[in-house]
C-alpha cells in the first residue's frame, strides 16, 4: 500500500471515529444522570443515529456512486454536522434535544458508508489492506474515551463540544483526500440504476439475505451496549467507566490486525458466526458479573467487543465489497449501513430503552441482570440461525 495513501485514509478513520467516540457512549450518562432524562427518553435519543442510518446512507451512497465525488460529500456532511452538534451541547430539554439530534444524525451517519467506500475505491486489496486502515478509527475512539474518562467529563456536555470541534477539522481535512469521483458504468443509466437495483438484486441470493437479516438482528444486542453499558458500570460502582470501556476497543485493534489470518483459516461463515456468538456471550457475562469478586466477568465482557465488532460489522463490509460490482460499492456499503446501523440499531435502541424502563425499580436503580439476559438470548438465537442457513460457497 502506498504510504501516503495509508496515512490519508488512516487519519480519516481516526478523525471520524474520534467524533463519534467523543459523545456517543458517554452522552447517555449525561442525559440519564445530569439532564434527568428517563430510560425511555435515553433509548429514544439513541434511536436518532439508527433512524438516520435507515434513511440517508443508502441514498447518499447512490449520489457518491453516480453524481458527486465522495471526499466533497464527506467535507459537507462533517462541516454541517459540527454546527448542529455544537448547538445540541447547549440543550437539556428532551423535546428540543431529540429533533435537533435527528438532524445531526442525518448528516453524520452516512459518513460511515462513504468513508468505507472511499477506502475500497482507492485500495488495491480490500480484504488485506482495509483492516490496517480501519484500525485507526478504533484508536481514535479509544483516545476519545480515555480523554473523557481522565477528565471526568461523562456527566457533562463537554464531550459533545469536543465532537463538534473535531467535525470542523475533519471537514477541512476531507478536501485533501484522494479525488474519488463517481464510478462509470457500461451503457446508459436509467431510473432503475439510480435506485440501486444491482444491490437490491443481491437480496435474491438466500445466503446474502441470511447475512443481512443476521446483522440486523444482532444490531439489537449492540444497541444495549452502546446505550446503557456506561450507565450500568457507573451505577454498580465501577470507576472511570468510559476509560475502562476502551479496553474493548483495544481488543478490537489487536484482532483487526489479524483479520486476514482468520479469513484464510475459518472463512467468512465461521468468522461471522463467532462474532454473532460473542455479542450474546458478553451480555451473559454482564448479567452475572459485579464490581467485586466477579469483576473479571465484566472485563471479559468488555474485551469481547473486539470479537463481536470485527467478526460481524467489519467482516460484513469486506464480504460485501468482494461480491458487488465496483460501480455500486458506495451504494452497497450504504445499504449495509441502512440495514445494520439503521433499521437494526433503531430496533435495538428502542427495545433497549423499553427493557431498561421495564426493569427500573427507582431513579438510577435497575435490575441489570434481567436487562442483560434479553440481548444475551437474542445473540444465541441469531448465531444458531446463521449457522443453519448461511451457505458461503454455493451461490454465484
For the segment 356-381, the average pLDDT, to the nearest whole number, is 90
| pLDDT classification of 302: cutoffs 50, 70, 90 | very high
CB 271 within 8 A of CB 386: no
| pLDDT classification of 254: cutoffs 50, 70, 90 | confident
- What domains are there in the chain, each with its CATH number? 3-175+195-389 (1.20.1250.20)
The more confident residue out of 228 and 280 is 280
The pLDDT of residue 347 is: 85
| pLDDT classification of 266: cutoffs 50, 70, 90 | confident
> pLDDT > 70: what percent of the chain?
87
For the segment 260-285, the average pLDDT, to the nearest whole number, is 91
Residue 379 has pLDDT above 60, yes or no: yes
| pLDDT classification of 248: cutoffs 50, 70, 90 | confident
Residue 46 has pLDDT above 70, yes or no: yes
- In DSSP terms, 360 is beta-bridged to 366
The pLDDT of residue 240 is: 79
For the segment 224-245, the average pLDDT, to the nearest whole number, is 84
All residues at 6 or more sequence positions from 36 whose CB lies less than 8 Å from its CB, including other chains: none
The pLDDT of residue 63 is: 59
The more confident residue out of 231 and 79 is 79
Residue 258 has pLDDT above 90, yes or no: no
The pLDDT of residue 121 is: 82
CA 35 from chain center: how many Å?
Answer: 25
369 vs 364: CA distance, rounded Å? 15
pTM over the 0.85 mark:
no
Nearest to 69 by CA among 170, 172, 169, 174: 174
Amino acid at each position: 500500500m502506498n504510504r501516503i495513501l495509508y496515512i490519508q485514509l488512516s487519519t480519516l478513520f481516526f478523525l471520524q471515529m474520534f467524533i463519534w467516540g467523543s459523545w456517543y457512549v458517554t452522552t447517555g450518562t449525561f442525559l440519564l444522570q445530569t439532564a434527568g432524562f428517563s430510560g425511555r427518553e435515553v433509548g429514544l435519543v439513541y434511536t436518532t443515529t439508527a433512524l438516520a442510518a435507515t434513511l440517508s446512507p443508502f441514498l447518499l451512497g447512490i449520489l457518491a456512486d453516480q453524481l458527486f465525488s465522495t471526499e466533497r460529500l464527506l467535507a459537507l456532511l462533517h462541516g454541517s454536522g459540527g454546527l448542529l452538534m455544537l448547538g445540541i451541547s447547549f440543550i437539556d430539554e428532551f423535546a428540543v434535544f431529540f429533533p435537533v439530534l435527528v438532524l445531526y444524525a442525518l448528516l453524520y451517519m452516512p459518513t460511515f458508508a462513504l468513508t468505507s467506500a472511499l477506502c475500497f475505491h482507492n485500495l488495491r486489496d480490500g480484504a488485506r489492506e482495509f483492516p490496517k486502515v480501519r484500525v485507526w478509527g478504533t484508536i481514535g475512539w479509544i483516545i476519545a474515551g480515555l480523554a473523557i474518562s481522565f477528565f471526568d467529563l461523562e456527566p457533562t456536555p463537554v464531550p459533545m463540544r469536543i465532537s463538534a470541534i473535531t467535525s470542523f477539522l475533519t471537514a477541512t481535512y476531507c478536501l485533501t483526500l484522494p479525488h474519488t469521483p463517481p464510478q462509470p458504468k457500461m451503457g446508459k443509466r436509467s431510473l432503475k440504476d439510480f435506485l440501486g437495483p444491482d444491490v437490491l438484486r443481491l437480496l435474491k441470493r438466500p445466503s446474502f439475505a441470511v447475512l443481512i437479516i443476521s446483522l440486523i438482528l444482532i444490531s439489537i444486542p449492540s444497541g444495549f451496549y452502546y446505550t446503557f453499558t456506561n450507565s450500568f458500570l457507573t451505577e454498580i460502582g465501577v470507576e472511570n467507566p468510559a476509560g475502562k470501556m476502551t479496553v474493548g476497543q483495544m481488543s478490537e485493534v489487536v484482532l483487526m490486525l489479524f483479520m486476514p489470518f482468520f479469513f484464510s483459516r475459518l472463512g467468512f461463515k465461521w468468522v461471522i458466526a463467532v462474532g454473532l456468538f460473542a455479542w450474546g456471550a458478553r451480555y451473559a457475562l454482564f448479567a452475572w458479573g459485579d464490581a467485586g469478586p466477579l469483576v473479571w466477568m465484566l472485563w471479559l465482557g468488555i474485551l469481547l467487543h473486539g470479537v463481536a465488532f470485527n467478526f460481524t460489522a467489519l467482516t460484513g463490509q469486506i464480504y460485501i465489497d468482494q461480491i458487488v460490482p465496483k460501480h455500486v460499492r458506495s451504494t452497497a456499503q450504504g445499504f449495509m449501513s441502512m440495514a445494520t446501523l439503521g433499521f437494526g440499531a433503531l430496533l435495538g435502541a428502542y427495545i433497549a430503552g423499553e427493557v431498561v424502563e421495564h426493569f427500573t425499580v427507582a431513579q438510577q436503580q435497575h435490575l441489570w441482570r434481567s436487562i442483560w439476559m434479553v440481548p444475551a438470548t437474542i445473540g444465541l438465537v441469531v448465531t444458531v440461525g446463521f449457522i443453519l442457513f448461511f451457505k458461503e460457497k454455493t451461490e454465484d
